[in-house]
Structure 1
Amino acid sequence: MARTWLKVLWVGLTLWAATVIVTIVTANANLLPTIVLLGSFVVPVAFVVWAYEHGTSGEVTVPLLFGAFVVGGVLGVLGASLLETYLLHPSLWMYLGVGLIEEAVKLAALWFIARRMRVHTPRDGLVLGATVGFGFAAFESAGYAFNALFTVQGISVRAMVETEILRGMLTPLGHGLWTAIAGGVLFAAAARHRGRLRPLDGAVLLTYLGVAVLHALWDSMHGIAIATTLLLTGTIWQFQLLEHGYLPQATAAQNHLITVLNWIGLGAISVVALVWLRVLAARSRIGSPPPGPLP
């Protein structure tokens, strides 16, 4: 099997690391946008190539992939930004609202990109869904990296690099994975509607709600870990501070437990999503056409 995605990943990471080193050595601020773009796009692009290498029909071309990544990603972040600004307010259910909005706009972007395809196979839905999700993740990560650059102490290349490393490591388990699941079910449902994409199909709606819940749990996991730690190890004075509207300072042991619970929760969410994707991928092989050419 071709390993083009590995070449893309390692070449991209090498260029990113070289840019970071040169920027630190020369203090050349003109290189900061290059760090932001390379650090945000290398991993998502590599995993789009990985998804494409695992087989698609002739309907999925490189230009279509490019459109799904760029147009789908930009439409996703713009739609999410508008809806979250005007519809969401700080509350206990805010993260659920974020999950519902972002998964809806990514699904809508996928439908827009794929609406003129003549044939919709589940395998193509997985690949195009992943591509839209990774495009969304890339543009979102660029925003987070840019914001991390500016701190109260001034410009911090270190904070930006740390943000890109963390988000790059988590990228394969986030937006691309969730939208791949939704895309696979959306394209599979086309067979029940004479080849037409129907986002309001029952199975598609249930899948959308499922990935939105996974998204919400992922975003809120740190808060869930804090709440669980307080319930398990909280002291009287900590609960008294909470009653008066203050967030108590965690002890060293509690901070350790929060970190452990946070990563356990993220791991559990990832396992559920990966198993779900695996089942969809296995079903998509049944009756699928031969894979298209590799890039």
Structure 2
Amino acid sequence: MSTTSTAVTTPYVHADEPARTRRHGWWWKSLLVGALLWLVTIVVTIATRNANLVPTLILLGSFLVPFSVVLFAAERISSTFPVTSLMLAFFVGGVLGVLGASVLEAPLASGGLGGFLLVGLIEELVKGVLVVVIGRHLVPKTARQGALLGATVGAGFAAFESAGYAFNAALGRGGIDLIGLLQTEVIRSVLTPLGHVLWTAVLGAALFAASRDGRRYRFTVGVVLAYLLVAVLHGLWDSMDGISTIVAILSTGNAVPALYYNSLRPGTQGEVGEITTGVYVLGLGLVSLIGGLALRGLVRRHRTRDRAISEQHAA
């Protein structure tokens, strides 16, 4: 009788995903409640014109989606990794990530596609080092567990970076630009899971999948290739605005006017704008698709190996 009860109440868990607790779906519940609080804060801010609420808007809008990612990971990551360590991965990893990237990028980064690729190499390296340091005690080291930890570190980086962008957007010439602030937060919230979170999840999965016996890191060719892949995807993502503009100018026959006269042919401005927007959205979608397929491929490829390691550690 007790055996039947256990079979009914035990939640399904992947073989390579050690159980922590029963899943409650707190990530999406927190996302909905947080979104409601964000909307209420917007209404109150507009109604009262209280500038003291602007930091609340920045924090809610910047941290809502990333923190939901942390809750998603907390319900699935190994019980050997305390929730407090996961929170440290988010906050400490996020702060150190943006600080380290800023210090390295300041003297090295430049404009253009090459500059954006360099930024991708720097930021993904910083986040990769943080995953290695923070995850050194996480066992077993499987691709799925590495993806969850990587997503957490990436979410922390995205949260603090988004807060900076939101702050800059709010600095209008005539005072606080509330519309600019909200637009920035909405766009970055929607794109966050497809950017830093996804890229660091791919790198974390590769790092953990290459581990020896699920305990010790090994830096293999696969890890290097995964790092280069996410760095290139990061660079392409950041440079997509320029790429889409170039494609629009070339496809509408505006190459010569734009190059020599710094202007567009009369009557083509609308067409250039439409093509730029379309290519931009398509480009971001393609970058996200490649990253998603890479993550899925890593987890599936190492599923058998990860299952064996998980069973070995459970024994």
Amino acid at match of 1:253: E
Give, in angstroms, the shift of residue 109 of structure 1.
1.1
The superposition leaves residues 225-265 of structure 1 with CA deviations (integer Å, 9 ceiling, x where unpaired) of 11111111123xx5144136x36486111101110111011
RMSD: 1.9
- 2:164 paired residue among 125, 143, 148: 143
Does the CA contact (< 8 Å) of 2:110 and 2:116 recur in 1? Answer: no
Does the CA contact (< 8 Å) of 2:26 and 2:72 recur in 1? Answer: yes
Does the CA contact (< 8 Å) of 2:252 and 2:271 recur in 1? Answer: no
Does the CA contact (< 8 Å) of 1:242 and 1:248 recur in 2? Answer: no
Aligned length: 284
In the alignment, structure 1 residue 16 sits paired with structure 2 residue 38: yes
| Cα distance change of structure 1 residues 126 and 147 upon mapping to structure 2, 3 Å threshold | same
Measured in 2, the distance between the counterparts of 1:161 and 1:213 equals 29
Q: Secondary structure at the match of 1:191?
A: coil
| Cα distance change of structure 1 residues 63 and 284 upon mapping to structure 2, 3 Å threshold | farther
Aligned to 1:196: 216
Does the CA contact (< 8 Å) of 2:113 and 2:235 recur in 1? Answer: no
Q: Which runs of 5+ in 1 are unaligned?
A: 291-295
Measured in 2, the distance between the counterparts of 1:241 and 1:45 equals 43
The superposition leaves residues 72-112 of structure 1 with CA deviations (integer Å, 9 ceiling, x where unpaired) of 11111001000110111234411100110110000011112
Aligned to 1:205: 224
Does the CA contact (< 8 Å) of 2:145 and 2:205 recur in 1? Answer: yes
Amino acid at match of 2:225: L
- 2:242 paired residue among 220, 223, 230: 223
Measured in 2, the distance between the counterparts of 1:169 and 1:247 equals 33
Give, in angstroms, the shift of residue 197 of structure 1.
2.1
Q: Which runs of 5+ in 2 are unaligned?
A: 1-22
Measured in 1, the distance between the counterparts of 2:192 and 2:173 equals 27
Aligned to 1:293: none
TM-score w.r.t. length of structure 1? 0.90
- 2:60 paired residue among 27, 38, 49: 38
Does the CA contact (< 8 Å) of 1:60 and 1:124 recur in 2? Answer: no
- Stretches of 4+ aligned residues off by more than 6 angstroms: none
TM-score w.r.t. length of structure 2? 0.85
Does the CA contact (< 8 Å) of 1:218 and 1:266 recur in 2? Answer: yes
Identity of aligned residues (%): 47
Give, in angstroms, the shift of residue 58 of structure 1.
2.0
Measured in 2, the distance between the counterparts of 1:32 and 1:145 equals 10
The superposition leaves residues 103-150 of structure 1 with CA deviations (integer Å, 9 ceiling, x where unpaired) of 000001111212234542222111100000000000000000000001
Q: Secondary structure at the match of 1:180?
A: helix
Aligned to 1:113: 134
Amino acid at match of 1:48: V
Aligned to 1:160: 181
Amino acid at match of 2:26: T
Aligned to 1:78: 99
Q: Compare CA radii of gyration and give the structure with the larger one.
A: 2
In the alignment, structure 1 residue 49 sits paired with structure 2 residue 68: no
Measured in 2, the distance between the counterparts of 1:139 and 1:112 equals 20
| Cα distance change of structure 1 residues 165 and 92 upon mapping to structure 2, 3 Å threshold | closer
